Structure 1
Amino acid sequence: MSTTKPSSVEDTLRDFWQTRPVRPRSGRRFAGVCVAIGLRYGIDPVLVRVAFVLAALYGGAGIALYLLCWLVFPQEGDPAIEPGTREPTSAVLALVLVLALIPAMSWSVQFPGVIGLVLGLGALFLLHRHHADRNRPEPPEPTGENAWVYPAAEQRTAPPSWDPLGAAPFAWDLPEPSRPEQPPEQRPKRRWITPVALLLAACCAVLARYSGQGLAEVLAVVLGVLGLAMVAGAFLHGGRGLIAVAIPVGALAMVASALPPGAAWLGVNDQRVHLIDAAAVAPRYRTAIGDVDLDLRDARFPGDREVRTGADVGVGDVTVRVPADVDVTARCSTGIGSVSCLRNTAEGPGQHREAHDDGPDGPGGGRLVLDLTTGTGDVEVTRG
């Protein structure tokens, strides 16, 4: 069996297809794609799973890549029937995966998704380019008409090296004894990858912050550095400790991306305010994660006074209850969720509604202007 690594791009692609990973029947969490890649190239499957999760944060590219690998990677045959065989993807499963790939690819056809797809496919190409000889599957044994025909052994006229005295000429046609195969040399783990990657991520975060980037952009830079470091660690046998850092950073990046543009990190807390004096209303109520509940039903608004207030929430709901007789002008916006702005309702991503209501008594009785925004959540303004 040749272990020569493919040299050209065409040879690499052809060799990848012929020796592509096989999804095992045991040890897998879902379809076995991550375990298949790990077993084929000698990589910890946990690192492969983390790479797919990180790629999913970039426009859903990881989901599309996983479905694509599920489609093209064969499954291990039943070892009880015939060990070492492969089962191609069934027609029904292939149809289901193709139908699932359509929305996944349409979701990924945006700039972050395209970048994630390119990086994922490029990483798989480089992985095979440099480690095609690892755990390379054995070619199938030929049978029937394709069986191997070995040429007749030549008659020796001189004793082989194992019989220098010529004492056993009847056994000279036996092959020369081979040396026992030496176990492959275990490469030492590169423990320096984790601290170096963390230091580099911290430096990149500082540079991004001082260049005027927001929290979501800074976390995206950190996540990108950690992702590249884990890809490098898969080749160098190190960097597994970065998983514990990348998971919370990815979660924070998702939360930060839901914040309104230009919003700062304002902590995690619920604000529930009940006022009876309109003069005590704050100009704005802000929180990064949590609910804002402003109850003004008992507040007194002077007839000649206008009160303005608002709310900025990253992830959470905004609820405002206004008096029955006050004139209200409300602007309600949500990135993902629903709005009910004085019975002017809408649901779905990117909703914005405005409403004006003078109440059952008509104009007069004070004026309240509301500006309410949430990144992910519901906005509701009710009267009475």
Structure 2
Amino acid sequence: MKILFVYLFQALLQLIYLPLKAFCKVQDQVVYLSRQSNEKSLDMQLLEQAIEEKAPGTRQVFRLQMMEDGFAGKLRYFGHLVGDMKALASSKVVIVDTYSIAVSCLRHKDGVQVVQMWHALGAVKKFGLQSLGTKEGRDARLSHAMHMHRGYDYVLCPSAATARFYMEAFGCPAEKIKICSLPRVDDIVTPKEGLAQRFYAENPGLSDRRLVLYLPTFRDREAYVAQELKLAFAEQETYRLVVRTHPLSKVKPDPEFSIHGNYSTYELMQLADAIVTDYSACAFEASLLMKPLYFFVPDYDLYMRDRGLNVDLRQEMPAATFTDADALADSLRAAAYDYDALYAFQSKYVENTKNNNAAILANFVLTLLQKKDSDS
């Protein structure tokens, strides 16, 4: 029944899209489409700024809308989707950072260039088409009916090592992969003037403690796993564990392991003395700072079975991968970290670690804008 509804829904979209394609004139504009957030992501902000600096006045349109729960929410999203279709019919370059219904379910004019700027800097865990049919993945039949991740002309990828994962996850050939780090890398590797002073002014009790930042991925056992780490660091006088949950997490922040003030995850990374994560792609971001990076994965075998991993953490970061929270805390206190392994990890998965990624991507987008096609 769901599959039948999907086909009827797509037929309706095509019916609406046909006159839009026929009557909307293609403009030299870039449109950003996202269901990931209602606000511009950091990558979008930095790319927008870089494009404006290189080509002032370039038209950049943002259509950002998360799908709300319930019938009314889905109805509102349908109205937004019609607006997405109009933008698609009148834009030369389309940038998405997640799956887009309008991009993947419809056939577009010749000359429209779609760039997938995925919202993560790599993939420790399997995702997209890789994880279809797994316990934590999406329904395979429904995803194929929705043409999941179809329609991309380019897929941005941070390294050659990551390319194979992306080809599998997005179902795209090698020629569609463009090795290019995300603009956020620029922000992560650029020191923030006055950040530490502001932080310790708002958190004076932490000035004599070493900060351990825990960044878990979003998963069912999140609260239980976090509790193990909290217990391991509860009696520590030297270290203070700070937990920053995933944006989609429904776990309530624990005041004992939170901080005062409004700080982004990347700012907390710069402030931290060590970073702990699990299967999150933030591991690649954290590696850019060359600070001790640990992986706390008590459910490693279970996660491998239910979701699957692209990166074998036990093989690539053996001395920094733990299933026991107390053992991780002991290793951190010992202060004998394998920085060579961390550098190898960073170099393998993020090829460009310089502060020029937004500029490189802006040049690429502007090149696409300058292409001529029969429909423009």
Q: Same fold (TM over 0.5)?
A: no
Higher relative contact order (CA 8 A, sep 6+): 2
Task: Give TM-score, length-normalised by structure 1.
Answer: 0.23
Which structure has the greater CA radius of gyration?
1
Structure richer in helix, relative to its length: 2
Structure richer in strand, relative to its length: 1
Task: Give TM-score, length-normalised by structure 2.
Answer: 0.24
